């Protein structure tokens, strides 16, 4: 099967810094194909390839699920497996292709079955900040946002246990975040050392961390678990 030499996949919950991480990977030379460079909730664009989002949405819909109604044991219809193969094959002349869509945390088993060579990198953010951002963007009640955060990040932690990929924390200060990212790109992903990393814009981070806000114990415990595995 034709495919790029390397395929990087960003894993993370909605509103958790996945766009910033993906844009920074693009700064490092990762090709994203056709991607969104602007939307009203992310002025630099969420860096998502709409065709990949469409495949993920179709897989979820076939399982009576959705981005805000996750389910376990997701099964890929054959037609969507073929669609994913053809889409990634269309980027076969790219040396390093990357993609991100938070829904991928819900459909990842199928992507890995199709492309076992996937290189994974994850990112997470404080649950309260994510829930407040979802409330601002989508009108989702904070309690529902916290439950969704937990569902997505349980998957992130579970996949980390299985595959041991690097995980970043978007709560880190800009300098710390970029220093860690540069280290990963050079030492783990073998990118050039003179990376510009100009995508990060702290003015676009509006939701507070919520570190002093009460939240379910299960969310707090999972957040602490993720902090233990972050780079």
Q: What is the pLDDT along the chain (231 residues), one digit of tens a residue?
A: 689 999 999 999 999 999 999 999 988 889 998 886 645 445 465 789 999 999 999 999 999 999 999 999 999 999 999 999 999 999 999 999 999 999 999 999 999 999 999 999 999 999 999 999 999 999 999 999 999 999 999 999 999 999 999 999 999 998 999 899 989 988 999 888 787 778 888 766 666 555 556 789 999 999 999 999 999
Distance CA(204)–CA(131), nearest Å, equals 16
SS3 122: strand
pTM: 0.92
Residues in the chain, total: 231
In 3D space, the residue among 150, 137, 124, 130 whose CA is nearest the CA of residue 21 turns out to be: 124
In 3D space, the residue among 129, 128, 127, 119 whose CA is nearest the CA of residue 159 turns out to be: 119
CATH class of 6-229: alpha beta
């Amino acid at each position: 099967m034709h495919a790029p030499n390397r395929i990087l996949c960003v894993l993370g919950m909605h509103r958790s810094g996945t766009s910033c991480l993906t844009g920074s990977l693009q700064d490092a030379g990762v090709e994203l194909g056709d991607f969104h460079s602007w939307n009203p909730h992310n002025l630099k664009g969420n860096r998502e390839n709409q065709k990949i989002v469409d495949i993920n949405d179709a897989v979820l819909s076939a399982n009576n699920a959705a981005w805000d109604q996750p389910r376990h044991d997701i099964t890929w219809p054959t037609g969507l497996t073929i669609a994913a193969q053809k889409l990634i094959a269309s980027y076969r002349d790219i040396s390093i292709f990357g993609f991100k869509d938070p829904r991928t945390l819900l459909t990842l088993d199928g992507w890995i079955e199709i492309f076992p060579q996937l290189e994974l990198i994850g990112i997470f953010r404080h649950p309260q900040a994510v829930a407040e951002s979802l409330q601002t963007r989508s009108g989702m009640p904070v309690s529902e946002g916290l439950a969704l955060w937990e569902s997505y990040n349980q998957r992130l932690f579970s996949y980390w246990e299985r595959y041991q990929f690097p995980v970043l924390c978007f709560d880190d200060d800009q300098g710390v975040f970029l220093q860690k990212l540069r280290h990963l790109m050079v030492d783990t992903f073998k990118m050039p050392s003179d990376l510009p990393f100009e995508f990060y814009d702290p003015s676009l981070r509006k939701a507070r961390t919520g570190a002093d806000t009460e939240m379910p114990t299960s969310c707090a415990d999972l957040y602490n678990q993720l902090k233990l595995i972050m780079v």
